[in-house]
């Protein structure tokens, strides 16, 4: 299964409700797992880690960017960390069965979409950079939101790769890229003077520091003195709320420069200045290999959790996928009226559509099926939209039943009350019948696409298309019974009778279409 990681950074770390809304926008995308969300009040920044199928992760990143645009205004934002956008940076990292070239293509498509649909200019960086000068994120971000506000659109070196040639008035601009695993690592020093942290950062980072030297002609010129470590970005900050200063770093390749390497050097230089290291911290997740290169006790690592090792988190997410239905099954088996058959039917339909999407994912990217890749990409979108709609129907069916029960509980002690109650019951019952009928139509609409996956998709997964069709038909049949139990109480009512007739017609059509999928699978296996 193709997996990518995405680590979008948002310029908000002090309003939990805003962070929750942004994270939730991504978490609602089917096929995406939120591995972590780390907020820092001093930096006023949140780092979110997502993993999943490439297109699903890209969709989640887009929705989170749209939500950040809605909720964050950089004109009122303050924090220690440099930033140029409400969504400051979106990197894609290959995890499994995905190449760096795949991630570069993903970054370019997302940057183009953000520019086109959200009016936010984007710069492509790291391995996705169109020009060498834009591989470095700090160089792109130089000047921050306030500086870039006047430079974008006027400075030819600051023309965005995608989107308008003017900064968004509140959301700024965004860097979108592809890279190797980046380890975000901070070392906190026991001093309130940020000068030491800034000096250490300049001495260690690959880009080094600028110093003034005297040229042969006597003129004073700026010369760049490279830092000690390759593949290291670093800056010094003051943590006012904690009375500390910080060397904040990005290790761009832990195989070249490790956490242990930079900690030892910072410890030495701080000790020379009479300052002790208070603690260090890893922000977000890191690969198991990077942790193995680090003695956590030696570097005074604070607050580190096993879940921050990305392989551990992915394993847990995989295991959770097999147990996440347990609470629903227990509720279904209980004596409570909801969730009931309608919710179960909706879930079965979502499973059927998801199986069809699985067939497309097992087809896309395979050389043998390159001729049908465009068809499978379109099919996957259709099926995943159905998954989301049917999944929402699981809860919606219970809400419709609750509405009917609420109508029956209305008082009926007077003729007027009885008339009001009767009208409310009739309205709620009709609505409760339309709900499962809508599920029927949503599920039924997946069958032409399931047929296409059965005929064109990877033959090794044809049986999954067959099971998907069977589950979709089960959804339709189950939802139909929920329609009929409601309209059965309203025989003679024109709308109810029409719904009953439409239900019978749709059931017959679905039976034929589902059988066509099974026949197609039989021919291929």
* Backbone torsions φ then ψ of 78, nearest 5 degrees: -135, 140
**Which residue out of 55, 161, 397, 464 is catalytically annotated?**
397
Q: Sign (positive/negative) of CA torsion 206, 212, 213, 217? A: positive
Tell me how far apart the alpha carbons of residues 97 and 474 are, in angstroms, rounded to a whole number.
34
Q: How many residues does the chain have?
A: 525
Residue 425's Cα: distance from chain center in Å?
A: 41
Please measure the distance between the N-terminal and C-terminal CA atoms of the chain and give it in whole angstroms: 22
Tokens 């971000």 belong to: 141
**Which residue out of 81, 312, 434, 493 is catalytically annotated?**
81
Tell me how far apart the alpha carbons of residues 304 and 307 are, in angstroms, rounded to a whole number.
9
165 has catalytic annotation: no
Q: Decide the pairing of beta strands 9-10 and 87-96.
A: antiparallel
Q: Which residues contact 279 (CB under 8 A, 6 or more apart)?
A: 187, 188, 300, 301, 302
81 has catalytic annotation: yes
3-state secondary structure of 196: helix
CB-based contact 311:288 (threshold 8 Å): yes
Q: Is residue 139 within a helix (H) or strand (E), and if so which, with residue range? A: helix 137-141
- Which of these, 164, 343, 301, 184, lies nearest to 248 by C-alpha position? 184
Tell me how far apart the alpha carbons of residues 342 and 483 are, in angstroms, rounded to a whole number.
9
3-state secondary structure of 53: coil
Tell me how far apart the alpha carbons of residues 14 and 8 are, in angstroms, rounded to a whole number.
17
Q: Sign (positive/negative) of CA torsion 398, 400, 402, 408? A: negative
3-state secondary structure of 134: helix
Token pair, residue 240, equals: 């006012």
Rg (CA), the chain: 28
The catalytic site residues sit at: 81, 397
């Amino acid at each position: 299964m193709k997996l990518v990681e995405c680590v979008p950074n948002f310029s908000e770390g002090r309003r939990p409700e805003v962070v929750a809304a942004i994270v939730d926008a991504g978490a609602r995308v089917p096929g995406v797992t939120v591995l972590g969300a780390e907020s820092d009040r001093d930096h006023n920044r949140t780092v979110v880690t997502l993993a999943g199928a490439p297109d699903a992760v890209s969709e989640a990143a887009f929705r989170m960017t749209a939500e950040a645009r809605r909720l964050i205004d950089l004109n009122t934002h303050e924090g220690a960390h440099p930033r140029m956008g409400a969504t400051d940076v979106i990197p894609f990292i290959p995890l499994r069965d995905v190449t760096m070239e795949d991630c570069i293509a993903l970054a370019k498509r997302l940057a183009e979409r953000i520019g086109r649909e959200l009016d936010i200019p984007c710069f492509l960086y790291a391995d996705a950079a169109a020009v060498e000068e834009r591989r470095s994120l700090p160089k792109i971000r130089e000047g921050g939101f306030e500086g870039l506000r006047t430079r974008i659109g006027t400075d030819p070196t600051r023309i965005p790769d995608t989107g308008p040639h003017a900064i968004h008035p509140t959301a700024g601009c965004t860097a979108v890229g592809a890279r190797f695993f980046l380890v975000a690592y901070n070392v906190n020093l026991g001093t309130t003077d940020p000068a030491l942290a800034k000096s250490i950062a300049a001495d260690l980072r690959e880009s080094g520091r600028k110093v003034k030297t005297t040229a042969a002609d006597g003129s004073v010129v700026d010369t760049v003195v490279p830092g000690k470590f390759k593949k290291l970005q670093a800056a010094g900050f003051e943590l006012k709320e904690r009375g500390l200063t910080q060397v904040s770093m990005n290790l761009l390749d832990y195989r070249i420069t490790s956490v242990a390497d930079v900690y030892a050097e910072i410890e030495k230089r701080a000790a020379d200045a009479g300052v002790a290291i208070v603690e260090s911290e890893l922000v977000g997740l890191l690969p198991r290999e990077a942790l193995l290169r680090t003695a956590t006790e030696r570097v005074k690592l604070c607050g580190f959790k096993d879940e921050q090792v990305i392989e551990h988190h992915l394993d847990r997410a995989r295991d959770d996928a097999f147990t996440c239905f347990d609470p629903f099954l227990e509720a279904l088996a209980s004596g409570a009226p909801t969730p009931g058959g309608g919710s179960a039917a909706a879930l079965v339909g979502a499973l059927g559509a998801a199986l069809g999407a699985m067939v497309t994912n097992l087809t896309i990217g395979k050389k043998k099926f390159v001729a049908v890749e465009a068809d499978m990409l379109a099919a996957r979108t259709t099926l995943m939209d159905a998954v989301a709609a049917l999944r929402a129907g699981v809860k919606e069916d219970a809400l419709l039943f609750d509405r009917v029960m609420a109508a029956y509980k209305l008082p009926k002690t007077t003729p007027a009350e009885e008339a009001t109650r009767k009208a409310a019951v009739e309205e709620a019952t009709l609505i409760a019948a339309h709900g499962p009928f809508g599920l029927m139509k949503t599920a039924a609409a997946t069958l032409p696409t399931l047929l296409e996956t059965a005929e064109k998709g990877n033959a090794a997964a044809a049986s999954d298309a067959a099971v998907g069709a069977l589950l979709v038909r089960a959804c339709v049949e189950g939802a139909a019974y929920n329609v009929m139990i409601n309209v059965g109480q309203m025989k003679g009512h024109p709308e109810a009778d029409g719904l009953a007739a439409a239900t019978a017609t749709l059931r017959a059509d679905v039976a034929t279409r589902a059988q066509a999928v099974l026949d197609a699978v039989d021919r291929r296996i």
